[in-house]
Structure formats: structure tokens, C-alpha cells
Copies of this chain bind each other. A is one copy, B any other.
């Protein structure tokens, strides 16, 4: 039986099970309890990590000291500040677990080794970056072109499982509205 990471890799390139094992050995598996800060503003990001189980938020702090959630990352997805990681320069973001989370970590060194040995995986990482880019593009467009109500509907469609897992005020922050207003949107929706 294949692990989540192996399934994920297989969607992108065909590797033998020997190769897969070798690849997997370069990742370091870690359990991280909820509310652990994996990266904070000023740090240099030392990881690209694949999520096996759990949930993670990425956010900025605005000038009033409030969190602005940029992304939620869950099972079978990657988490990192890609540009801080690639260029080994300080980040402006925070990355923090919302649930107990199980991760497979790459460091700059192990990623380098991985790509030396298996250059076919370049494509997988390129796709990863492109997915991130796409999702930011869509989110930016959505934030400008849609009302809060519509953004909330789209969020529910895209992440149907999340509302049961994470506090509502984080969703509000992700949608770019106040927690009070999200509460009102939900009430309004119930009446229909």
C-alpha cells in the first residue's frame, strides 16, 4: 500500500517502488502539536513540508496587530514560504499549525539532494509553485470582484470540510471580513 506522498508523487511522475522509497527517505517525518509556530516574520524558512494529516494557517500581521490569513493548508498539500526558502532570505509571514499535524519535511539540503538524484521531480516542484500562484491569482480576483457573501459560498465549495475543523474567525480573516459580519452572513443564509 502506498503512502500519501507516494500517491502524490505518482500523479506527477512514474517512479519505481525502489526509487519512491529512496525519495521518501530524504524527507523527515515529524508530528507537530497544534498552535506550533513553524515560521515567523524575520525567520529564514528552512523547510518545504508535505502535510500528511492536520491543518496549517499562513498569515501576515497587519499594522493593528491583527492576523490576515493568506492560506489554509491541509492533507496532501505543501506548506512553506517558497521564496524565503529558495533564496534563504527573511520572511514576512507566519506559519502555524491549527491542529496536531503530521508533516514530511525537506530542508534546502535534502531538497537539493533529492533533485540531484531525481531531476524528474523538478516538474513536481514547478507545479507546486504554479498551484500556489494560481490560487493567489484567483483569491485576489475574488476579493476584488466578489462580495463577502459570494466569497463565503466559494470558500464552502472549495473547502467543504474546513468549517467543521477550524474556528470561524479564521475563516472571516481569510475572507477579508470581520468575524461579526461572517456571523451575520451565516444567519442570513440560514433563513433561505
**Chain A residues within CB distance 8 Å of chain B:** 60, 62-63, 68, 70, 82-83, 86-87, 122, 126, 129-130, 132-134, 136-137, 139-141, 143-146, 176
Contacts and interface: CB of A to CB of B under 8 A. Distances in A.
A60 B143 CA distance: 12
Q: Is the interface of A mostly helix, strand, loop or mixed?
A: helix
A130 B70 contact: no
Contacts of A87: 130
A141 B68 contact: yes
Q: How many copies does the complex hold?
A: 2
Contact of A134 (B62, B83, B130): B83
Nearest to A140: B140
A30 B70 CA distance: 38
Contact of A140 (B122, B126, B143): B143
Contact of A130 (B68, B129, B144): B129
A60 to B, nearest CB: 5
A86 B126 contact: yes
